[in-house]
Amino acid sequence: MPRLSLTMKTGTVIQWFKKEGETVEKGESIVEVLSEKVTYEIEAPESGVLRKIIVEEGMEIPVDTMLALIAKPDEDLNAIEIEIKPSLTEPSKETIAVDTQPSKPSSAKKRIPASPAAKKIAKEHNVDLGCVAGTGPEGRILERDVEQHLEERVKTPRIREEIPLTGIRKATAERVATSFRTAPHSFVIMEVDMTEATKIRDEANISYTAILVYSTAKALREFPVANSTLVDGKIRIYEDINVGVAVSTEKGLIVPVIWNADEKSLPKISSELKELVEKAREGNLSKEQLTGGTFTLTNLGMYNVDMFLPIINPPEAAILAAGRIVAKPVAAGGETRIKPTMTLTLGYDHRIIDGAPAAQFLKKAKESIEQLNCSN
């Protein structure tokens, strides 16, 4: 399992393109793996025969763990010993024996002690006695045990379907859980006058998300602490401002990245964002388009969400969440007018950013949005 990014610790095998015994050519894609929401195809390092698949589909393993063995058709592999380290389990030793027949499961069925009455009720209600706790002598299952099991089963909600937590969804679950567990989240919230942004949206057909990326990148240039990560006990502030945008797809949440967003015009960001969103939903993003992010933006305004508290995309220092645009009365210059407003929420890692700098950054992003004009 190769290390495909600086932060990669484990990878999951998604799909093998070849079966054991098939010929492979050097440079040919043989397996697809997933790490940190990104899928990669790994090429065969040499030509030969795929003699042994060590890591099956769906298994998550640490980097540098052997995935498979490619060898000559007649090469002896019996002496090769490898170490398999499944994630979150103790390492185990396996000696490779390519021609060994798989062991057959034992046909012997463990006898479960139960009374005749208990067996009768279990059969009538299709109850697996192996799932019933016995209260009789030496754990013998009695009639009352089956009845108690049936009562508990009735109270259990019916399951519509079970969806395995795999692929991008599993990677997302692990990342957000790690973020919420390790980073002390804090939030600052502001309302933004979207009058100028709405004009640009209508006149230039530029999305609000593109406008937010453009304005946020300008604010990050002035407040670089928000453009940072915490790595090995050090705050790493980046020169490049690479804004990731959360995109919902059928497979799960993807965060494509607009590199050097502060150096690009609003029309350029708009066109690049459209391309990234389309590729994300088609599953055609490149490695560069999915890595290198230094700040993340998430927008749920299109779903009529007023505001929400986002989870930081680790190991980044902050994330900006945008809600929907709502017409509200705004007092300014002694007058009250109805204006389009949006609520912005900055979620930040309090280990890296204090409250005052977080508020200053969000204020700058707000001003950047409110002072937009068509020349941007």
Per-residue pLDDT averaged across 159-183, rounded? 84
Closest CA to 323 of 190, 184, 172: 190
Residue 98 has pLDDT above 50, yes or no: no
Q: Report the amino acid identity of residue 341.
A: T
* Element at 343 (helix H, strand E): strand 335-349
Strand partners, 68: 53
Q: Tokens 């790490």 correspond to what residue?
A: 35
Closest CA to 313 of 358, 247, 357: 247
Q: Reduced to 3 states, what is the DSSP secondary structure of residue 229?
A: strand
> Which range among 35-44, 145-154, 225-234 has the greatest average pLDDT?
225-234
d(CA 242, CA 245): 10
d(CA 175, CA 313): 7
Contact 72, 48 (CB under 8 A): yes
d(CA 129, CA 149): 10
Mean pLDDT score of the chain: 86
CA dihedral over 271, 274, 277, 282, signed as positive or negative: negative
The first and second tokens of residue 6, run together, are 């600086």
- The torsion angles phi and psi of 139, rounded to 5 degrees, stand at 80, 15
Q: Is domain 104-162 given the CATH code 3.40.50.300 in the classification?
A: no
Residue 35 banded pLDDT, cuts 50, 70, 90: confident
Domain boundaries, the chain: 10-95, 104-162, 168-370
Q: Is domain 10-95 given the CATH code 2.40.50.100 in the classification?
A: yes
State pLDDT tens for residues 66-84.
899 998 888 877 766 555 5
d(CA 122, CA 132): 10
Q: How far is CA 59 from CA 11, 126, 336, in A?
A: 8, 33, 60
Burial of 86 (0-12, 13-18, 19+ CB in 10 A): middle
What's the confidence (pLDDT) of residue 96? Answer: 44
Contact 222, 237 (CB under 8 A): no
More confidently predicted of 125 and 4: 125
What's the confidence (pLDDT) of residue 326? Answer: 96
Known active-site residue 350: yes
Contact 94, 66 (CB under 8 A): no
Query: 125, 149, 185, 350: which one is catalytic?
Result: 350
- Spell 126-156 as b/e; 16+ CB within 10 A means b: ebebeebebeeeeeebbbebbeebbeeeeee
d(CA 161, CA 169): 16
Pick the CATH number of 168-370 from 3.90.1150.10, 1.20.1260.10, 3.30.559.10, 3.40.50.720: 3.30.559.10
In the chain, the N- to C-terminal Cα span, in Å, equals 45
What's the confidence (pLDDT) of residue 95? Answer: 42
d(CA 288, CA 242): 11
What's the confidence (pLDDT) of residue 329? Answer: 92
Residue 101 has pLDDT above 50, yes or no: no
Q: What percent of the chain has pLDDT over 70?
A: 89
For the chain, the farthest-separated pair of C-alpha atoms sits apart, in whole angstroms, at 89
Per-residue pLDDT averaged across 102-110, rounded? 46
Peptide bond into 157 cis (omega under 30): no
Half-sphere exposure for 328 (CA within 13 Å, toward CB):
14
Q: How far is CA 256 from CA 129, 317, 342, in A?
A: 51, 17, 23
Strand partners, 70: 50
Q: Tokens 């919230």 correspond to what residue?
A: 189
Beta strands in 194-317 (DSSP E): 228-231, 234-237, 243-245, 247-249, 252-254, 257-258, 295-299
Closest CA to 28 of 48, 43, 18: 43
State pLDDT tens for residues 196-230.
999 999 999 999 999 999 999 999 999 999 999 99
State pLDDT tens for residues 256-295.
999 999 999 999 999 999 999 999 998 888 888 999 999 9
d(CA 57, CA 67): 10
Q: How far is CA 137 from CA 16, 142, 236, in A?
A: 51, 9, 64
